[in-house]
């Protein structure tokens, strides 16, 4: 029987994971079987503030608990995603209807409650997600308005107090290789370390869309964050091409890219790579950009292994 990704990842003491949702775990045995082929899992949406908070005074942990239980039952490395973000806010949270003091209280309660709930289950938290704007500086968010720049330091501090054994990460997109945004994130996390903020790592999303970033640049970027004493994980990987003009035999090209990223990232000191979805039918890409190919992940719509899956297995074997 051919080895699974989990088999070869375990043999090499690395983690190859997938983002997962609660409903297909409940309803689809093929999804559950496919998810068990990975040794790491990220809660895709279930632990974001919107899904967790039906109203200001209520938490609904049903979906998050289910994914946590699945990870625990199958001895999987579990990433919590995400405690602080400017998107997927609940409908009741209309920031201009709250004072800054109320927003500060609300965020502190949220981080402490959720991190504390999953203390001992979540191995790594994406504490703050996508705080750096694409054109530089911190993104304008309700949290920046209410706290100023210290909201990042505060969030990491609350998370550490509530889940002291979890590793705490800053996570962002568009900063996978060496570029202006990754430079700014480097300065951001360097400053946090200088201030004694309990940050343990940086998550590079690596949504390789249209024109994938050079793997050598990814490796160089990983190395410089590692040199700060931080862990680095590739947290949300998928690979898609322009649908009207994809590379010839694009699944083979995709496989080669996945293989090279896993190889060079691991050589640079990154031991965790998470695909953003269990299979192509669960990818966010078709809902995000219909100009892209709809097969960005390691398993196809029928949960069959793709060339990219096989390429990683061959590499790690």
Q: Which two tokens stand for residue 312?
A: 């990683």
Retrieve residue 33's tokens.
């079987």
Task: Single out the catalytic residue among 37, 233, 236, 260.
Answer: 236
Distance from C-alpha of 34 to C-alpha of 305, rounded to nearest angstrom: 10
Pairing state of beta strands 15-20 and 124-129?
unpaired
Question: Which residue range is the domain that position 294 belongs to?
Answer: 5-316
pLDDT at 268: 98
Beta-carbon contacts of residue 35 (< 8 Å; ≥ 6 apart)? 18, 20, 25, 41, 70, 74, 278
- Diameter of the chain by CA atoms? 60
pLDDT lower than 70: segments of the chain: none
Residues of the chain with pLDDT > 70: what percent?
100
Radius of gyration of the chain from Cα atoms? 19
DSSP-derived letter for residue 187 is: H
pLDDT of residue 82: 98
236 assigned to active site: yes
Residue 4 carries which DSSP code? Answer: P
pLDDT digits (tens, 9 = 90+) for 7-57: 999 999 999 999 999 999 999 999 999 999 999 999 999 999 999 999 999
Q: How long, in residues, is the chain? A: 317
pLDDT attached to residue 240: 97
pLDDT at 2: 86
Confidence (pLDDT) at 96: 86
- Number of separate domains in the chain: 1
Confidence at residue 134, expressed as pLDDT on a 0 to 100 scale? 95
Q: According to the model, what pLDDT value does residue 316 have?
A: 97
Write the CATH number for 239.
3.20.20.80
In terms of C-beta density within 10 A (0-12 exposed, 13-18 middle, 19 or more buried), how is residue 139 classed? middle
Q: How many CB atoms lie within 10 A of CB 305?
A: 17
Question: Which of the following is catalytic: 44, 130, 233, 260?
Answer: 130
């Amino acid at each position: 029987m051919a080895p699974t990704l989990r088999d070869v990842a375990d043999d090499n003491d690395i983690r190859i994971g997938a983002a997962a949702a609660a409903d297909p775990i409940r309803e689809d045995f093929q999804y559950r079987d496919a998810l068990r082929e990975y040794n790491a899992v990220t809660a895709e949406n279930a632990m974001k503030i919107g899904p967790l908070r039906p109203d200001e005074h209520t938490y609904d942990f049903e979906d998050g608990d289910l994914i946590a239980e699945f990870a625990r039952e199958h001895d999987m490395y579990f990433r919590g995603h995400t405690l602080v973000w400017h998107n997927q806010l609940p409908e009741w949270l209309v920031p201009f209807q709250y004072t800054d003091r109320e927003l500060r209280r609300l965020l502190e309660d949220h981080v402490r409650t959720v991190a504390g709930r999953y203390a001992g289950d979540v191995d790594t938290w994406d504490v703050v997600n996508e705080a750096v704007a694409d054109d530089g500086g911190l993104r304008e968010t309700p949290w920046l308005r209410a706290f100023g720049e210290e909201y990042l330091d505060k969030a990491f501090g609350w998370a550490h107090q509530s889940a002291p054994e979890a590793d705490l990460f800053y996570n962002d997109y568009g900063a996978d290789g060496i570029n202006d945004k990754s430079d700014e994130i480097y300065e951001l996390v360097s400053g946090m370390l200088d201030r004694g903020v309990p940050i343990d790592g940086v998550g590079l999303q690596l949504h390789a869309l249209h024109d994938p970033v050079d793997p050598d640049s990814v490796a160089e970027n990983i190395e410089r964050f590692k040199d700060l004493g931080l862990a680095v994980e590739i947290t949300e990987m998928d690979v898609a091409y322009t649908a009207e003009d994809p590379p010839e035999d694009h699944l083979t090209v995709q496989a080669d890219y996945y293989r090279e990223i896993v190889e060079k990232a691991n050589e640079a000191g990154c031991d965790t790579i998470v695909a953003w979805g269990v299979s192509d039918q669960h990818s966010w890409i078709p809902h995000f950009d219909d100009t892209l190919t709809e097969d960005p992940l390691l398993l196809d719509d029928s949960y069959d292994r793709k060339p990219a899956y096989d390429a990683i297995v061959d590499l790690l074997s």
